């Protein structure tokens, strides 16, 4: 299996692939601008062979985040699916026009050499150069469209608008400067600002309110993609009084009363292996509309909060409720694609939860 193992840094020389890795040259052609779906379904891939078993009928765009096999590109294009590169944007380049120019040129060359269909921008850190960011996103789209016609440009944004000192970023303008904004509706409870207890990673009400707030600020709902998670949090309890009351050790950080650096991120496939060995079985919290369970490791109780087909289906219904542009999953690799019948059913249910209203978004 050929693997495209490229890392881009400012000032580095980008190697050219120089040949089409697919059986047909047509599969190396970037998908045209008029190749659109009514609803976007964006899946992030974290490298590995799992992509071979994805439900490709439910995907419109794959975001590759690390080294990726060339066969993934060929298979995606054969299924009418775009493949875009996840590019991290360091804050320092926003204040330097020459670095911005270098960054854009290097990424355009890289993506063109790899026959990919665009770029997904992930802004690293809290942005203080708001106007520079808006200009940068618009410039990225303009240059990519000039050099790679039909290329897709998207941006990751937080689960809710960031409003330091009551001043929100101009997300409405940002949405107009790219194809869509991917709302990362996860890690909502990573820093606890109230009671120091284990809680759901992405509660339904917060997910809905965060998206609604973007729309209230003037963002076109069709430019918003609801990003869901396929992993959970494993919290070690400092004290467990009962299921759902897992008290955490207090680690104050800045304005956060309870930041727990000991929490572990666990993929859904691991969670499904842990659940049968739990001491409680699956519990459901109706306030957060999320499942959880408790297990014991040596003398320490752990509480695991996660999303499953039931909780994900509820959040997926927000796409229709708010008339969003689509839905996404982080990561496609997090499911169990083995031949085990139980695992196969669990995995199928997770894919179906992306679009519970109908069997697939694509028509």
Between 336 and 169, whose confidence is greater?
A: 336
Predicted confidence (pLDDT) at residue 201 exceeds the cutoff of 60: yes
pTM for this predicted structure: 0.91
Please tell me the predicted confidence (pLDDT) of residue 256. Answer: 61
Residue 232: count of CB within 10 angstroms of its CB: 28
| Confidence class for position 164, pLDDT limits 50, 70, 90 | low
Domains of the chain as residue ranges with CATH: 37-230+307-353 (3.20.20.80)
Please tell me the predicted confidence (pLDDT) of residue 65. Answer: 81
Please tell me the predicted confidence (pLDDT) of residue 169. Answer: 78
HSE at residue 17, side-chain half, CA atoms within 13 A, is 20
Q: Which of 63-77, 134-148, 170-184, 346-360 has the lowest mean pLDDT?
A: 346-360
E strand or H helix at 294:
strand 290-297
Q: What percent of the chain has pLDDT over 70?
A: 86
Predicted confidence (pLDDT) at residue 309 exceeds the cutoff of 80: yes
Question: Which pairs count as long-range contacts for 250-255, CB under 8 Å and 24+ apart, including other chains?
Answer: 250/196, 253/191, 255/193
pLDDT tens digit string along 232-285?
A: 999 999 999 999 999 988 776 655 667 656 789 999 999 999 999 999 999 999
Predicted confidence (pLDDT) at residue 121 exceeds the cutoff of 80: yes
Helix, strand, coil percentages (3-state) for the chain, rounded to 5, are: 35, 25, 40
Rounded mean pLDDT of 167-193?
A: 84
Calculate the average pLDDT of the chain.
88
Q: Which two tokens stand for residue 117?
A: 């269909």
| Confidence class for position 25, pLDDT limits 50, 70, 90 | very high
Predicted confidence (pLDDT) at residue 1 exceeds the cutoff of 50: no
Between 357 and 187, whose confidence is greater?
A: 187
Please tell me the predicted confidence (pLDDT) of residue 11. Answer: 34
Predicted confidence (pLDDT) at residue 192 exceeds the cutoff of 80: no
* Residue the block writes with tokens 């692939």: 17
The SS3 of residue 194 is coil
Residue 231: count of CB within 10 angstroms of its CB: 20
Report the alpha-carbon distance of residue 75 to residue 56 in Å, rounded: 9
pLDDT tens digit string along 323-332?
A: 999 999 999 9
pLDDT tens digit string along 5-14?
A: 333 333 333 3
Evaluate whether 290 touches 203 at the Cβ level (below 8 Å): yes
Please tell me the predicted confidence (pLDDT) of residue 363. Answer: 52
């Amino acid at each position: 299996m050929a693997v495209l193992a490229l890392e881009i840094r400012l000032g580095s020389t980008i190697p050219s692939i120089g040949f089409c890795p697919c059986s047909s040259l047509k599969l190396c052609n970037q998908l045209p601008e008029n190749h659109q779906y009514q609803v976007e379904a964006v899946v992030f891939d974290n490298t590995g062979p799992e992509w071979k078993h994805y439900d490709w009928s439910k995907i419109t765009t794959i975001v590759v985040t690390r080294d990726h096999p060339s066969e993934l590109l060929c298979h995606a294009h054969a299924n009418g699916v775009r493949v875009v590169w996840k590019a991290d944007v360091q804050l320092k380049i926003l204040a330097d026009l020459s670095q911005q120019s270098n960054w854009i040129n290097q990424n355009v060359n890289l993506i063109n050499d790899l026959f990919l269909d665009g770029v997904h921008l992930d802004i690293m850190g809290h942005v203080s150069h708001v106007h520079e960011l808006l200009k940068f996103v618009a410039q990225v789209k303009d240059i990519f469209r000039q050099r790679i016609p039909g290329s897709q440009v998207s941006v990751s944004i937080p689960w809710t608008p960031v409003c330091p000192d009551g001043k929100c970023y101009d997300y409405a303008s940002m949405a107009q400067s790219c194809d869509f904004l991917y709302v990362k509706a996860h890690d909502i409870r990573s820093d606890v600002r109230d009671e120091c207890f284990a809680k759901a990673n992405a509660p339904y009400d917060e997910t809905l309110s965060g998206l609604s707030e973007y729309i209230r600020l003037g963002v076109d709902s069709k430019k918003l993609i609801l990003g869901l998670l396929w992993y959970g949090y494993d919290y070690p309890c400092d004290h467990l009084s009962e299921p759902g009351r897992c008290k955490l050790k207090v680690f104050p950080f800045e304005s956060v009363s309870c930041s727990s650096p000991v929490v572990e991120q666990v993929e859904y496939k691991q969670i499904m292996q842990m659940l049968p060995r739990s001491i409680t079985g699956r519990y459901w919290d109706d306030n957060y509309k999320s499942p959880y369970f408790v297990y014991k490791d040596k003398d320490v109780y752990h509480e695991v909060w996660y999303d499953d087909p039931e909780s994900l289906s509820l959040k997926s219904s927000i796409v229709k409720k708010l008339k969003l542009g689509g839905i996404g999953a982080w990561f496609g690799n997090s499911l169990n694609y083995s031949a085990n019948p139980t695992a196969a059913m669990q995995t199928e249910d997770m894919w179906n939860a992306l679009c519970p209203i109908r069997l697939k978004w694509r028509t």
